[in-house]
């Protein structure tokens, strides 16, 4: 099986579970730190090098309906390539889609050990409290998590309710003064897609605790899910001290 991954979290899942299967990944695929020799980069999730992918003649291209553009996926399909597209809005969906992807890649329905460990970790996850939060994912302009997001579901399982979860858009643009006026208990600031840092982000929410969290553990669905409850929980609790 020769696989091209257009999704960083799926790249990590395949690399760990089916070594040798990947032949190409995006520039944003940062985990694992060292991929198998010969794996090439085919640009970004939004601008993949389609001709380069075609030259590789992969058996399967794995993608995501949110991270990748329909036009690029249609172009790949039009050449006869098999394109498996995931849709992930909740943790349960993530587990189901990971099983589907790994079964297609490895040819077996037996889940890898890390997937069982991730299920167990989330089943045992303890909420940090009953809190509300604004969750920016970009600034200039400010964008936040809205409805039906995977990251929002993870936070809810940790006792943190996204104040914009009822918004009509999944990633609405909301002026900073409105974010401040939302009355949230907490501002959750991930380090991706925008890289919020101690010096870039918390100052926008004076008087509100700011939790700087790992974007990989908040937004990726893959092996990081096994440690995500502990990593995210620790960051949330630290912000509330």
Q: In which band, very low, low, confident or very high, does the pLDDT at 15 lie, cut at 50, 70 and 90? A: very high
Q: In which band, very low, low, confident or very high, does the pLDDT at 44 lie, cut at 50, 70 and 90? A: very high
Q: Which two tokens stand for residue 103?
A: 């079964």
3-state SS of 4-68 is EECCHHHHHHHHHHCCCCEEEECCCCCCCCCCCCCCEECCCCCCCCHHHHHHHCCCEEEEECCCC
**Do 150 and 71 lie in a common domain?**
no
Determine, yes or no, domain membership for 116. Answer: no
What pLDDT does residue 182 have? 95
- Distant-in-sequence, close-in-space partners of 238: CB < 8 Å, separation ≥ 6: 211
Determine, yes or no, domain membership for 168. Answer: yes
Task: Report the CATH number at residue 181.
Answer: 3.40.50.1980
Q: What is the mean pLDDT of residues 184-196?
A: 97
- Of 51, 80, 111, the residue that ends a domain is 111
What pLDDT does residue 185 have? 97
What pLDDT does residue 163 have? 98
Q: What is the pLDDT of residues 102-116, one digit of tens each?
A: 999 988 778 899 999
What pLDDT does residue 72 have? 97
Q: In which band, very low, low, confident or very high, does the pLDDT at 171 lie, cut at 50, 70 and 90? A: very high
Q: How far apart are CA 87 and CA 89, in angstroms?
A: 7
pLDDT tops 80 at residue 19: yes
- Of 111, 142, 173, the residue that ends a domain is 111
What pLDDT does residue 110 have? 82
Determine, yes or no, domain membership for 98. Answer: yes
Cβ distance 83 to 63 under 8 Å? Answer: yes
Q: What is the mean pLDDT of residues 52-68?
A: 97
**Do 222 and 130 lie in a common domain?**
yes
Q: What is the pTM of this model?
A: 0.94
Q: In which band, very low, low, confident or very high, does the pLDDT at 69 lie, cut at 50, 70 and 90? A: very high
**Do 181 and 91 lie in a common domain?**
no
**Do 129 and 101 lie in a common domain?**
no
pLDDT tops 90 at residue 37: no
**Do 81 and 134 lie in a common domain?**
no
What pLDDT does residue 107 have? 82
**Do 104 and 154 lie in a common domain?**
no
What pLDDT does residue 111 have? 87
**Do 75 and 152 lie in a common domain?**
no
Q: How many distinct structural domains can be found in the chain? A: 2
Determine, yes or no, domain membership for 120. Answer: no
Determine, yes or no, domain membership for 101. Answer: yes
- What mean pLDDT, rounded, does the chain reach? 96
Q: What is the pLDDT of residues 126-145, one digit of tens each?
A: 999 999 999 999 999 999 99
Q: How far apart are CA 145 and CA 170, in angstroms?
A: 6
What pLDDT does residue 76 have? 97
**Do 194 and 105 lie in a common domain?**
no
**Do 94 and 182 lie in a common domain?**
no
pLDDT tops 90 at residue 12: yes
pLDDT tops 80 at residue 40: yes
- Of 111, 141, 161, the residue that ends a domain is 111
pLDDT tops 90 at residue 99: yes
Q: Provide the residue range defining the domain that includes 229.
A: 125-240
Determine, yes or no, domain membership for 86. Answer: yes
Determine, yes or no, domain membership for 208. Answer: yes
Determine, yes or no, domain membership for 119. Answer: no
Q: How far apart are CA 159 and CA 5, in angstroms?
A: 33
């Amino acid at each position: 099986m020769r696989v091209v991954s257009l999704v960083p979290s799926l790249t990590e899942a395949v690399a760990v579970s089916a070594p040798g299967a990947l032949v190409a990944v995006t520039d944003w695929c940062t985990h694992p730190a060292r991929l198998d020799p010969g794996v090439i980069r085919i640009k970004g999730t939004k601008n993949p090098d389609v001709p380069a992918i075609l030259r590789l003649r992969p058996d399967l291209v794995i993608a995501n309906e949110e991270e990748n553009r329909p036009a690029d996926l249609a172009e790949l399909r039009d050449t006869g390539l098999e394109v498996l597209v995931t849709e992930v809005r909740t943790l349960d969906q993530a587990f189901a889609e990971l099983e589907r992807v790994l079964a297609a890649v490895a040819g077996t329905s037996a889940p890898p050990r890390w997937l069982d460990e991730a299920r167990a970790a989330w089943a045992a996850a303890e909420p940090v409290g009953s809190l509300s939060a604004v969750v920016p994912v970009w600034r200039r302009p400010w964008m936040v998590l809205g409805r039906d997001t995977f990251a929002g579901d993870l936070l809810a399982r940790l006792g943190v309710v996204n104040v914009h979860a009822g918004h009509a858009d999944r990633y609405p643009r909301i002026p900073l003064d409105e974010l401040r006026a939302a009355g949230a208990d907490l501002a959750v600031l991930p380090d991706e897609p925008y890289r919020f840092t101690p010096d870039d982000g918390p100052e926008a929410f004076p008087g509100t605790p700011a939790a700087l969290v790992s974007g990989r553990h908040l937004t990726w669905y893959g092996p990081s899910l096994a440690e995500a409850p502990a990593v995210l929980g620790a960051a949330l609790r630290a912000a509330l001290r």
